[in-house]
Amino acid sequence: MFKITEYTVEKIRDPYGILPGERYEFMLDLEVDEDDELYQEEGVRLRVVYMKENDSSRIVKYEFLIAASNHYLDMEMEEEEEQAVDAFCKEQLEMPIEE
């Protein structure tokens, strides 16, 4: 399990109105234990594309990145991690977003 230490969020613009709902990109800086297979000395970041439509919201896509270089890490979240990230994103969207 990892801990979210910092984050940024931006609304993804859809100028053509093709995608239903609203999309947001979260960049989460993570603290990962050294004995975890996800651990990287340079740090780990999680990019999350999150959708909000009416009363529902969900993770559309996510990817782990090496923080120093933004290189992709081929890893998947465990179910409890995904639930925690989903809850975190949902909570942040309930607060006003600076544009």
What pLDDT, on the 0 to 100 scale, is given for residue 31?
A: 96
Backbone angles phi, psi at 79, to 5 degrees: -55, -45
What pLDDT is recorded for position 30?
Answer: 97
Q: Has residue 87 been placed in a domain?
A: yes
22-32 and 56-66 beta bridge pairing: unpaired
> Does residue 14 belong to any structural domain of this protein?
yes
Number of structural domains found in the chain: 1
pTM: 0.90
Q: Where are the beta strands (DSSP E) in the chain?
A: 2-12, 22-32, 44-53, 56-66, 72-73
Q: What is the per-residue pLDDT across 13-29, written as a single tens digit (0 to 9) for each?
A: 888 878 888 999 999 99
Domain-embedded: residue 84 = yes
CA 81/CA 73 separation, integer angstroms: 16
Is residue 10, in this structure, part of any structural domain at all? yes
